């Protein structure tokens, strides 16, 4: 049971925090305006010189492997709805870690998305 809880924490918190680290790296770089292959390569080169980007990728990889480990232990109909808690963690992290203004409408939206994901997987199982 302890392993399952640790895996879930890695999936939900680790994965979401990894994406927030990537977001932070992209915010440091600034708005992407050049979508030509050369411009995208230049953006990629700059992004990977920021340690938030590397930290984000490591956390996202750990989250992915934790997901695989969790799916080997529990039913997908249990795992995926639980991972939708990542939307709540994302809203909290967006506010506290990235300094975003998470308004009432956004919270309602996040709650509805979580409930919708639960219904989708309830409808599958």
Partner 1 sequence: MAAASHLRLKTYTLISLLVVFGPFGDLLMGKGMRGIGVPTSISLVETAHYVSLVLASGLVWWGTLCMIGFFICYISVLSWADYSYVQPATALTYGVVALLGKYILGEKISLLHWMGILVVCVGVGFISYTSPATAERPFSPPPLGEGPLR
Name the site residues for partner 1 (rule: CB under 8 A).
16, 19-20, 22-24, 26-32, 35, 40, 43, 46-47, 49-52, 84, 86-87, 90-91, 93-95, 98-103, 105-106, 108-124
Q: Which class for 10: exposed (0-12), middle (13-18), buried (19 or more C-beta within 10 A)?
A: buried
Q: Which is nearer to partner 1, 9 or 122 (CB)?
A: 122
Q: Which is nearer to partner 1, 4 or 95 (CB)?
A: 95
Q: Which is nearer to partner 1, 1 or 33 (CB)?
A: 33
Residue 32 beta carbon to partner 1: minimum distance, rounded to whole angstroms = 4
Contacts of 44 (CB under 8 A, 6+ apart): none
Residue 88 beta carbon to partner 1: minimum distance, rounded to whole angstroms = 10
Q: Which is nearer to partner 1, 14 or 90 (CB)?
A: 90
Asked if residue 110 lies in contact with residue 87, where contact means CB atoms within 8 angstroms, the answer is: yes
Residue 30 beta carbon to partner 1: minimum distance, rounded to whole angstroms = 6
CA distance 94 to 20: 7
CA distance 104 to 34: 34
Please give the full DSSP string across 51-79, using - where no structure is assigned. HHHHHHHHHHHHHHHHHHHHHHHS-HHHH
Residue 118 beta carbon to partner 1: minimum distance, rounded to whole angstroms = 7
């Amino acid at each position: 049971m302890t392993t399952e809880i640790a895996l879930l924490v890695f999936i939900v918190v680790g994965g979401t925090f990894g994406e927030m680290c990537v977001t932070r790296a992209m915010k440091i770089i600034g708005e992407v305006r050049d979508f030509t292959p050369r411009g995208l390569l230049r953006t990629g080169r700059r992004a990977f010189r920021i340690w938030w980007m590397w930290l984000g990728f490591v956390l996202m990889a750990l989250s992915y492997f934790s997901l695989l480990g969790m799916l080997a232990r529990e039913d997908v109909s249990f795992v995926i709805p639980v991972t939708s808690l990542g939307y709540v963690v994302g809203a909290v992290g967006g506010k506290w870690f990235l300094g975003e203004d998470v308004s009432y409408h956004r919270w309602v939206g996040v709650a509805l998305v979580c409930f919708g994901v639960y219904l989708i997987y309830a409808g599958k199982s």
